[in-house]
Amino acid sequence: MDEIQRLIWQGENDQVDFKQRVTQPDKIARTLVSFANTRGGTILIGVKDDGKVVGIDPEEEKHTLELAANFYCDPPLLLH
């Protein structure tokens, strides 16, 4: 089982969050800041709350995440 499958199997918790899509940078920024201010975390985009993988448009989602991390977070966050 690879790392992503393991995270999905374990479900959401204080360090893992599932997002079906990222369409509003101001809202995802709240999650980014929350993880940055605690022990960190992983956001799996393209995964519904029930763990079903639905897929994404990677370029669109990446753009929204970068906007959230750079514009809505102070200081800006580095995404991995």
pLDDT value at residue 77: 94
pLDDT value at residue 37: 95
pLDDT value at residue 34: 95
Enumerate residue ranges in the chain where pLDDT < 70: 1
pLDDT value at residue 80: 84
pLDDT of 42-65, one tens digit each? 999 999 999 999 989 999 999 999
pLDDT value at residue 1: 63
Helix, strand, coil percentages, rounded to 5, for the chain: 45, 15, 40
pLDDT value at residue 71: 96
pTM confidence score = 0.88
